[in-house]
Amino acid sequence: MRVLYDHRSSHASQSGFADLVLINGRIYTGDPGMPWCQALAVARGRIVARGERADIEHLVGVETKVMDLGGRFAMPGLYDMHTHPDLALAPRYAEDLDIGIVDPTPDQVRDAVQAYAAKYPDREWIYGQYFVRYTFRQVGLVPGREWLDTVMPDRPVALLDRMWGTMMVNSEALRRAGIGADTPDPANGYLERDPVSGEPTGLLIDGAYALIHAAMPQTPVAVLRAAYRDGVRYQSARGVVATKYVHVCENRLGALQSLDQAGELTLRVEAAISWQDDIFPVRRRWELLAGERHYYRSARLNANAVKFHFDGTVEPRSSYLITPWDGANAGWSGKLNLTPEHLADMIWDMDRQGIRVIAHCTGDAASDTFLDAVEAVRRRPGGLNIRHQCAHSTILHGGNLRRFRDLNVTAEFSPVSWYPSKFVSGARSGYGPERLSRAYNIKGVLEAGGVAVIGTDWPVSPLDPWIALETLVTRANPWGEGEGRFGEPIPLPLAIDVMTRNGAWSMGIEHDAGSLEVGKSADIIVLDRNLFEVEPQGNIHSAKVDLTFLQGQLVHDRLNENPGAVWYGEPPRLW
Amino acid sequence: MVTKGSNPMPVPIPVTVVGGFLGAGKTTLINHILSGDHGLKVAVLVNDFGAINIDAALIASTEGGLYSLSNGCVCCGLNQGLVEQVEALLATRADVDHIVIEASGAADPARIMDTVRYARFSGRLRADAIVVVVDAAGFDDAIAMAPGLAAAQIGSADLLVLNKADLVERPELDALRARWALPGTRIVETTRARLPFAILFAGGSFHHGPASSFTAAPVHETATSVTWRHVGVIDLKRLQAVLTRLPATVYRAKGFLRADDGRCIAVHLAGTRLAFEAVANMPEGMGAENILVLIGFGESLSFETALKQLDGCAGSVASPVKGAA
């Protein structure tokens, strides 16, 4: 394991010289004591000196690598505190059945299923897309298990329809999932049934898919590894030095560990174990939380966090709000997915074990209830005062802004709709004008002394953190596709803090990382432009990251300037 | 009169989803329903409230975005989530006989009907029919614009309305039918979306309407109905086979019967959509008979074959008393 070879114990002999010095830069340190410097020296992954060139000259030995930045702008690397490359990318690598025809006829569906089955004789399940209902109707057939059994009687098959919303499965798939006439419909979907016998016909609608997914094998480690590798490569190329992969299972941790051991985990990852099975099943949840998670631990990877969905989202109006949804005459104000009592006991249990709780809270009543539960934990002696995290924080009640500081809770915001766009005027308008006016109140949390961070939440919004940085400063559309501003902008130095130092705080590593100070980790990025000298709108999000250093190691080199980097060239196109 | 007291089970309200491209005539159909003399309390959820031009004289009252019309209909905009809007409607107006939901032109109406069938609405709503309105004069343009969506909309239709039929010559209409009609698809040609209510609402609800609705008679324009009566029990499997293979000139069937497994069943057929709904008892005054009303439409309409096939659905006891009234 690479990280084991790199470790040096406390009393090992050390060279008095730097391993790396950067000279002739415009280096923004993020440290109010010395915001700017021209030169930095790095030894054993940490910054050992900074200032003008003369201040680091004595650390340059024969083995020291000297890099002349040629006047380029450098700054601390960025922190993306909530994202999901696995969910976005795993389907690309899963090699599921893809029929690849817009309107396949039943015969074409049959041929594709049988060809796939022959090509993958060892795959237990045949899973993929798409069929369309109307081509069945055109030839007088009814899609469902009866038809699919004639295509594939012995191996389980599950096919999605092109408009999604419907999954067709065969009898073997129903049998493995334990679905029969007595199976109740889930709240958010149903099983199509024979009108006489009540037996499922093999068409499952919306939420009923989960019954099949639960019976299918988990996404394999190799597929997840390929997905994370692309995500990590992209993030390093865009200057991200630390991230939280929110929602993992044992297979996902296995994939991340495999990248780590290959030297390809080029950022720090805090992985949050899913508390619920609503996205994918976690088979070893309780073993992981009891201590098995430590087997994955390294300088770059930890799984000391859990994630759960406390309320819903805006579009189906399931965010949990303090006052009812606009126009909802039945007084509907959304709902919680767990009881407040469940939450209180869980946070207490996790806090005592040193595990961070990351709670999805989009509505103001969800964060209100979450903060209440944290407050109760803080009052009990014996807690570890872990910095729990309120994810999304889309709508916050004004009375809660101070509680983030008082309770040591991170307020995390997703940039998906904190600037004007079609998405905001469409889907997000559901909150109504009053609530929208106080949505994404980053400034409010900061002014109340709290810690705000950002999470790209990819694939909900793009994995590129620079869109977030620009729009923190402008709250305007980066591409000019939407008039005006939305919410309260913050100045650039504060926005950089949010995406660097605050991220480090939310990971509990603020004494080790997050700004360019002597003694801290050398997590440095070099850009093609000075952010302080450009018009923010349109120019921050398009900044290119030429070099990324993590713990003094060159992990990304866009222009192929140096030997020994892990990744070279432009970031991969992922969407 | 069938009263609620005689049937303690909650009666699901039938739901029709109206789909079709922008400009096909959905709004005209909605206005036809809102101003129509069908004797039903129909609640209409419209996608774009501004497009519905309700005659101010017809509006009896307005409350919370819900417009009550003097003919008993109510109308409101679909300005929140479908689930919440329907919940709100059920909370305030549980007495409506039928719900009509207008889908946006860009939507697959089947997805809306999927939501109607969620477990949370079980026993409260019944998916009655997806009615897709097509502009006979402009359908080729619609297909060219969004071929997949047009095919999906038509593919999900229990009842296809070829609207603006007056603007198109007969051969073109026939070509359209030949090209797009799927097996079993029921098609009605209309002008100004004047779809016969007998086909849209099956002549009213058994549960809420008067028992006299069993008396078959020409209900509207050329829609015709016939009543099949039978004493004894019914083999549901055989009935299912017959009802799913009716000639396309039979648009609807509805009735009550005793199944051979002892259950009382309400039958609802709308085009290609068949539902057997178990009910606690037969409606009052039906005696020992099973009754099924078939509603047909069109020049080549004949019920003879269908009635003969229905006679073959008798369970263990068979003593058919059939009569085409």
Residue of B nearest to A332 (CA): B84
- Say which CATH architecture domain A221-508 belongs to: Alpha-Beta Barrel (3.20)
Q: What is the pLDDT of residues A4-21, one digit of tens each?
A: 556 778 788 778 899 999
Task: Return the closest-CA partner of residue A14 out of A50, A48, A39, A40.
Answer: A48
User: pLDDT confidence of B213, banded at 50, 70, 90?
Assistant: very low
User: pLDDT confidence of B322, banded at 50, 70, 90?
Assistant: very low
Lowest-confidence segment of A75-79, A138-142, A412-416, B137-141 by average pLDDT: B137-141
Structure confidence at residue B218 (pLDDT)? 34
Give the pLDDT mean for B28-34: 91
Structure confidence at residue A204 (pLDDT)? 93
Residue A291 CB coordination number (10 Å): 9
Residue of A nearest to B184 (CA): A140
CB atoms A134 and B156 under 8 Å: yes
Instruction: With beta carbons under 8 A apart, name residues in chain B contacting A168.
Output: none
Structure confidence at residue A416 (pLDDT)? 75
Is B122 an interface residue toward A (CB < 8 Å)? yes
User: pLDDT confidence of B205, banded at 50, 70, 90?
Assistant: very low
Rounded to the nearest 5°, which phi and psi values hold at B190? Answer: -135, 160
Q: What is the pLDDT of residues A344-388, one digit of tens each?
A: 999 999 999 999 999 999 999 999 999 999 999 999 999 999 999
CB atoms A328 and B274 under 8 Å: no
Q: Which of A184, A206, A317 sits opposite B84 (nearest CB)?
A: A317
Instruction: With beta carbons under 8 A apart, name residues in chain A contacting B237.
Output: 196
Q: Topology of domain B211-320, per CATH?
A: Hypothetical Protein Yjia; Chain: A;domain 2 (3.30.1220)
Q: Which of B88, B155, B275 sits opposite A137 (nearest CB)?
A: B155
Structure confidence at residue A314 (pLDDT)? 77
Rounded CA Rg of chain A: 26
Interface test mutation site (partner B, options A103, A132, A135, A137, max chain B beta carbons within 10 A): A137
pTM value is 0.74
- Say which CATH architecture domain B4-201 belongs to: 3-Layer(aba) Sandwich (3.40)
Q: Topology of domain A95-213, per CATH?
A: Diaminopimelate Epimerase; Chain A, domain 1 (3.10.310)
User: pLDDT confidence of A425, banded at 50, 70, 90?
Assistant: low
Structure confidence at residue B316 (pLDDT)? 67
Q: Which of B111, B120, B237 sits opposite A196 (nearest CB)?
A: B237
Give the pLDDT mean for A304-325: 86
Measured in residues, chain A has a length of 575
Structure confidence at residue A428 (pLDDT)? 65
Residue of A nearest to B63 (CA): A329
Size of interface A-B (CB pairs under 8 A): 101
pLDDT score of B35 more than 60 = yes
Give the pLDDT mean for A137-153: 94
Going from N- to C-terminal start, the domains of chain A cover 95-213, 221-508
Structure confidence at residue A427 (pLDDT)? 57
CB atoms B152 and A190 under 8 Å: no
d(C-alpha B255, C-alpha A115), whole Å:
47
Q: What is the pLDDT of residues A164-214, one digit of tens each?
A: 678 999 999 999 999 999 999 887 788 999 988 889 999 998 878 889 988
User: pLDDT confidence of B215, banded at 50, 70, 90?
Assistant: very low
CB atoms A134 and B154 under 8 Å: yes
Q: What is the pLDDT of residues B282-315, one digit of tens each?
A: 887 777 788 999 988 877 788 888 899 999 998 7
Structural tokens at position B165: 């039929």
d(C-alpha A245, C-alpha A305), whole Å:
10
Structure confidence at residue B87 (pLDDT)? 86
The Cα of B65 is separated from the nearest Cα of chain A by a number of Å equal to 8
Going from N- to C-terminal start, the domains of chain B cover 4-201, 211-320
Contact A92, A98 (CB under 8 A): no
Structural tokens at position A78: 């960025």
Contact B126, B254 (CB under 8 A): no
Residue of B nearest to A205 (CA): B114
Measure the N-to-C terminal CA separation of chain B; round to a whole number of Å. 21
Instruction: With beta carbons under 8 A apart, name residues in chain B contacting A317.
Output: 80-81, 83-84
CB atoms A205 and B114 under 8 Å: yes
Structure confidence at residue B302 (pLDDT)? 82
Q: What is the pLDDT of residues A62-76, one digit of tens each?
A: 999 999 999 999 999
- Strands A410-413 vs A451-454: parallel, antiparallel or unpaired: parallel
CB atoms A140 and B184 under 8 Å: yes
Structural tokens at position A429: 């308008």
pLDDT score of A158 more than 50 = yes
Give the pLDDT mean for A24-49: 97
Structure confidence at residue B324 (pLDDT)? 41
Any residues with CB less than 8 A from the CB of A153 and at least 6 apart, and which? A170, A171, A172
Residue of B nearest to A136 (CA): B155
Q: Scan residues 254-293 of B and list those with Cβ closer than 8 Å to A.
A: 272, 274-276
User: pLDDT confidence of B319, banded at 50, 70, 90?
Assistant: very low
Percent of chain A predicted with pLDDT > 90 = 77
